[in-house]
Amino acid sequence: MYNTSLKSVTAEIEDLLVEKFSARGRDLKAKLKSAGRRLPRRIRSEAEYLVEAEARCANPKRASQYDPARVVEAHRRCVAYLQKLDTRIARSRRRTSIMASILVNLLLLAMLAAAGYSLLP
């Protein structure tokens, strides 16, 4: 695997991160940080390996220190996960979660008010 193909691998994952998570940043490392914990730990670690392999390829002496088979496998896993991800469902679940937490907080406030606790001093 050549340096250019490694760059194309990371570019494909960057594009998918922007498409699915609206990730911001100039490189894959920044986009992974932007996506944060919305990515599963396994996928995040595979993408971080690709960032590390890309950094190694930048140095000619260290270019042979990465495992091309692992790069291909990491790319396959990341792309498979990101392509099957449906952003509409994820956003809907997030909205539902936020609305549920607001509803629970309002319910607790109503219970406190009904019990006679003053919310203001």
Arithmetic mean of pLDDT, 108-121: 80
How far is residue 10's CA from residue 5's CA, in Å, rounded to a whole number?
A: 9
55: domain range? Answer: 3-85
What is residue 64's predicted lDDT score, i.e. its pLDDT?
Answer: 83
Nearest to 45 by CA among 118, 68, 53, 69: 53
Do residues 90 and 66 both lie within one domain?
no
Name the band, by pLDDT with cuts 50, 70 and 90, for residue 119: low
Do residues 102 and 66 both lie within one domain?
no
pTM, two decimals, is: 0.73
How far is residue 56's CA from residue 109's CA, in Å, rounded to a whole number?
A: 55
Do residues 76 and 114 both lie within one domain?
no
Do residues 19 and 70 both lie within one domain?
yes
Q: Which range is least confidently modeled, 2-11, 39-48, 57-66?
A: 2-11
Do residues 79 and 91 both lie within one domain?
no
Nearest to 46 by CA among 23, 17, 19, 18: 17
Arithmetic mean of pLDDT, 31-53: 94
Do residues 57 and 97 both lie within one domain?
no
Do residues 90 and 80 both lie within one domain?
no
Count up the domains in the chain and report the number. 2
Q: Which range is least confidently modeled, 55-59, 94-98, 104-108, 114-118?
A: 114-118
